Amino acid sequence: LPELFVKALPVLQTLEQAGFEAYFVGGCVRDLLLGRHIHDVDITTNAYPEEVKKCFDRTIDTGIQHGTVTALYGGESYEITTYRTESGYQDFRRPDKVTFVQNLDEDLKRRDFTINALAMNTKGEIVDLFHGLDDLDKKVIRAVGVAEERFHEDALRMMRAVRFMSQLQFSLEGRTRQAIVDNHELLSKISIERVREEFVKMGTGPDARRAFAEFLDTGLSEECPHLAGKKDQLTVFTSLKASPSSERVLWSLIVILLNLPEKAIGGFMKDWKNSNAMTRKVKGIAAAFDKLGQSPSDVDLFEMGALNLNDAIDAAFILGQPVDSKTLLDRYQKLPIKDSDDLAIDGRWLIAQGVRPGPKMGTLLNDIKTKVINGDLVNSELAIAKYVSQQL
């Protein structure tokens, strides 16, 4: 048993000794059975939140109205959630009422996919009400119960389906897939932030290309900002050379495939509720990518910077576009300066040399920088002072 589980066993035992049931549940059990890396363990119990709190010295009310208490134990934190059912899904979004129940079966029924509806007790016994183990074997994503109904309850589950496809390298079970085809419009009811989270996990997972094909073919992409009607351009994604290596490379590839001009990138990123920091990165990578196709000069390489250059090379590789990355990276490594701060002088120094502040000084500074980058001027105060005196 992976260390995370071993460390968590006393948490379950504490609940059991107090007379309650307790199970590992959801993604952690799935990932354990698949031999995947486990990042956290979720625990489910018939104890009410107030009872859970009494079992542990230190707890946090994480989402107590939904039944979740975080217990701090042995230097780790564990989310412990009371068995619950959900009801009153309005607008195809999250439930507006959760009811605590005493029966694990009820709790497992509300979960999205059979492979996510597995529970395991301290003895390692698995509770599998919906043939989740079979589906793990068959590598399929199958909705618990009637797929159509489950997607009506919470339309985000359709995005989760393609996300898990990518992350686990699974396929969509036929009826689950058909229910997505029939109900993809409901995704428009879901907040962009939640869709984005699943989109990014899908787009960066190991099977991103096959999942993306389903994202396009089921119609889900039609409900996403700026992707409606763009199926032809986006299809390229399904035959990329590799999965995007990071979120910023994913967004850059989308922007490149959509052929967005620089001034349209901001609006695109904003409508997907991306951060300003992410938008800046993507603009930098997209600009660097454009330059790669036009024999970049040393000044171009300097302006890209190492990060954008690397990411743009990565994007080109993933798109199957030939770039001589070794030569480019060698040339970058050999640049006399990699950052404006590396320049031996600055504006203040120029003023001290008798240069008058103003636009002309800016031009001179830029000229010095260009000469240094191109190797036409040594990056030292002495050499630059001599050059400046010739210009005055």
Binding site for ligand ATP (CB under 6 A): 26-27, 42, 111-112, 116-117, 154, 156-157
Q: Which does 154 bind (CB under 5 to 8 A by kind): Mg ion, ligand ATP, none?
A: ligand ATP
Asked if 227 contacts 286 with a C-beta cutoff of 8 angstroms, the reply is no
We find the least distance from the C-beta atom of residue 69 to ligand ATP, in angstroms, to be 16
Q: What does the block give as tokens for 223?
A: 């409900």
CA distance 346 to 350: 6
Cβ closest to Mg ion, residue 82 vs residue 252? 82
* HSE-up of residue 218 (Cα within 13 Å, Cβ side): 28
Residue 88: CB atoms within 10 A of its CB come to 11
Rg for the chain, CA atoms, rounded: 28
CA distance 392 to 223: 61
We find the least distance from the C-beta atom of residue 156 to ligand ATP, in angstroms, to be 5
Cβ closest to Mg ion, residue 26 vs residue 296? 26
Q: Which does 116 bind (CB under 5 to 8 A by kind): ligand ATP, Mg ion, none?
A: ligand ATP
At 117 the three-state DSSP class reads coil
Which residue has the CB atom at the shortest distance from ligand ATP?
Answer: 27
Alpha-carbon dihedral angle through residues 151, 251, 279, 292, given to the nearest 10 degrees:
-170
Cβ closest to Mg ion, residue 26 vs residue 336? 26
Query: Is 27 labelled a binding residue?
Result: yes
Q: Is there binding between residue 284 and Mg ion (CB under 5 A)?
A: no
We find the least distance from the C-beta atom of residue 301 to Mg ion, in angstroms, to be 41
We find the least distance from the C-beta atom of residue 16 to Mg ion, in angstroms, to be 23
Taking alpha carbons only, the member of 331, 259, 263 closest to residue 289 is: 259
Q: Residue 129 is inside which H or E element, if any?
A: none
Residue type, position 221, single letter: S
We find the least distance from the C-beta atom of residue 244 to ligand ATP, in angstroms, to be 18
Cβ closest to Mg ion, residue 86 vs residue 197? 197
Q: Is there binding between residue 163 and Mg ion (CB under 5 A)?
A: no
Describe the crossing of helices 325-333 and 298-318 by its angle, rounded to 10 degrees.
150
Task: Candidates 12, 27, 180, 310: give the one binding Mg ion (CB under 5 A).
Answer: 27
Query: Is 194 labelled a binding residue?
Result: no
Show binding-site residues for ATP. Answer: 27, 30, 111, 154, 157, 160, 163
Q: Please report, as ranges, the residues that interact with Mg ion according to CB under 5 A.
A: 27
